[in-house]
Amino acid sequence: MPLSEHEQRLLEQMERALYAEDPKFVSSLRSTGPRLGSRRKAAVGVLSALAGFALLVTGAATSLIVVGVLGFLAMLLGTFLVVTTMRPQAEAPSAPAPQAKPEKARKSGFMDRVEERFRKRREGGD
């Protein structure tokens, strides 16, 4: 069901507001979409990997080392093509790293207590 004119106007306003608020985020969303050639590249990668596997088995069956090595290289290339097409092209902006809390404001966890006990033992034993 298509959107009404009012809904389309609201959607356009929201898009403009989002772009005005965070243009980097909007551009990262646009750039992560699938590319036109990515399916073709993935298909070539899969076919290359399968052909490489066939060559590898053929090389092992006929004891021809060159055929086996070529098959392995074809499998490697095909796998590389498939993996690179599955990886997103542009990463979304990451959240800022959490800042370290002051020691007094920090809650002591289990590891903090263990470290403190170890430190006390080491200082007391010297």
pLDDT digits (tens, 9 = 90+) for 1-27: 677 888 888 888 888 888 888 777 777
- Residue 117 in any domain: the answer is no
- Residue 18 in any domain: the answer is yes
Between 56 and 109, the higher pLDDT residue: 56
- Residue 96 in any domain: the answer is no
For tokens 């036109």, name the residue.
36
CA-to-CA distance for 43 and 48, rounded, in angstroms? 8
Q: What is the percentage of the chain residues whose pLDDT exceeds 90?
A: 28
Domain count, the chain: 2
Which pLDDT belongs to residue 92? 45
Task: Please give the residue range of the domain that contains residue 40.
Answer: 34-88
Verify that 46 and 82 share a domain, yes or no. Answer: yes
Average pLDDT, the chain: 79
Residue 93: is its pLDDT beyond 50?
no
Identify the band that residue 38 occupies on the pLDDT scale cut at 50, 70 and 90. Answer: confident
Residue 66: is its pLDDT beyond 50?
yes
Average pLDDT over every residue of 19-45: 74
Q: Tell me the pTM.
A: 0.45
- Residue 11 in any domain: the answer is yes
Whether the CB-CB separation of 32 and 63 falls below 8 Å is answered with no
Verify that 47 and 62 share a domain, yes or no. Answer: yes
Verify that 38 and 83 share a domain, yes or no. Answer: yes
Average pLDDT over every residue of 49-77: 94
